[in-house]
Amino acid sequence: METEVVVIGAGPAGLAAAQQLAARGVRPVVLERGDVPGFTWANLYDSLVLHTGKRMSSLPGLPFPRNYPTFVPRQGFWDYLRRYAEHFRISVETGNAVTHVTRADGGWSVRTTRGEWRARAVVMATGIVTNPVVPALPGRERFGGRVIHSVEYRRPGPFRARRVLVVGVGNSGGEIASELAAAGATVTVAVRSGANVVPLTVIGLPIQYVSFWVRKLPRPVRNLVVGAVQRITVLRRGPPVLPRPAHGPLDAIPLIGFHLVDAIRAGRIAVRPGVAEFTPDGVRFTDGRAEAFDDVILATGFAAALAPLGALVRRDAKGFAVRIDRVASADQPGLYFVGHNYDASGGLYNIGVDSRLTAARIARGRS
């Protein structure tokens, strides 16, 4: 099957890329492994709420409904994705899991579980959620309990009255640990390198809006603003209960909101160092202490989902493809990436930027 452009993935990145391409007269084929647009968002944990404000989180061309809250819940965002696809008449080929992307006759061959497409350009809108990072911890095979990654977590019911270890304190880990503790689980979090904790809002504005403008300031001024926010937080909420990492809150996505630290301070969640190994009935931490657990949830993050590309592209230190101008492959002409930029501006805001850049570059290539 022949087409001009193949977009791989029909989550927010793929839908935004398709909309921007169509606005420039390019109608792509959009391939989605799941059975609906936004399949990944349909299967994340029930209580998930966007940390980013709705004014900087909608996709190009369609704002969120006015009655949506500032921080949109998962169900509302999934509804929005489906409405987005319908509004812009984006045709999505569902049930098409991409297995290989290779060069072919100066263009691309995209092989899926349902066939093969040939295209001039390929847009990887695969994000990260389909590629969870699972650390190789010694002794896992002898542990008698349950081990899952945070991407498999849905709701707290199955963990009620159980001893649960959450490994990692990113935003997913913090939210899951807090929810489990509130639902009656005995929760411990393992913290290897610390976390920068920032408020969800500052003077009534989402922290994302504040950080977006602060990032435009000179570095010394940024440091002054960040330091002021940290001092105010200590005055209002007490000293930190989690170690701070070497990097600052503007250099990587911080832990947003105080749900986790409040639960720790109240004694509802225990804090331990990193995990050294599994034991038959639990884990041993890096300080030598061993404790028993029924369940271990690995909130250990995600990496760029680039498996179909094989060795066609180089990866940077964080596992993302090396790019030019944010979106274009540094190694392969006609290959683009939307939704592979993550920083304090917000992943959805960056998707808007990336989709416009990508569509403009592909449209220019037609002339």
The structural domains of the chain, ordered by start, are: 5-131+302-364 (3.50.50.60), 140-298 (3.50.50.60)
- Express each pLDDT in 12-56 by its tens digit: 999 999 999 999 999 999 999 999 999 999 999 999 999 999 999
Tell me, rounded to whole angstroms, the distance of Cα 301 from its chain centroid.
8
| Backbone dihedral angles phi then psi of residue 247, each to the nearest 5 degrees | -90, 160
Instruction: Check: CB of residue 187 under 8 Å from CB of residue 159.
Output: no
Distance, CA of 87 to CA of 10 (rounded, Å): 14
The pLDDT confidence band at residue 236, using thresholds 50, 70 and 90, is confident
pLDDT of residue 193: 86
- Express each pLDDT in 295-339 by its tens digit: 999 999 999 999 999 999 999 999 999 999 999 999 999 999 999
53's tokens: 């404000």
Instruction: Check: CB of residue 149 under 8 Å from CB of residue 279.
Output: no
- Give the chain's mean pLDDT: 94
pLDDT score of 367 more than 60: no
Distance, CA of 90 to CA of 110 (rounded, Å): 19
Q: Strand order of the sheet with strand 5-8? A: 92-93, 29-31, 5-8, 121-124, 335-337, 328-329, 323-324
Average pLDDT over residues 64-86: 97
Distance, CA of 115 to CA of 103 (rounded, Å): 16
* Residue 363, C-beta contacts closer than 8 angstroms, at least 6 positions apart: 21, 24, 25, 26
CA-CA distances (angstroms) from residue 143 to 140, 176, 186, 188, 281?
5, 22, 18, 17, 6
Question: pLDDT above 70 covers what percent of the chain?
Answer: 99
* pTM for this entry: 0.93
Q: Which of 51-65, 110-124, 232-246 has the lowest mean pLDDT?
A: 232-246
Pairwise pLDDT comparison (3 vs 231), residue with the higher score: 3
pLDDT of residue 194: 87
Pairwise pLDDT comparison (19 vs 210), residue with the higher score: 19
Which residue in the block uniquely carries the two structure tokens 């977009």? 7
pLDDT of residue 171: 94
CB neighbours of residue 158 within 10 Å: 11
The pLDDT confidence band at residue 231, using thresholds 50, 70 and 90, is confident
pLDDT of residue 366: 66
Average pLDDT over residues 146-165: 97
Distance, CA of 50 to CA of 190 (rounded, Å): 24
pLDDT of residue 249: 78
Instruction: Check: CB of residue 309 under 8 Å from CB of residue 101.
Output: yes
pLDDT score of 248 more than 90: no
pLDDT of residue 214: 85
pLDDT of residue 246: 80
pLDDT of residue 216: 83
Which residue from 146, 88, 132, 120 is spatially nearest to 333, judged by alpha carbons? 120
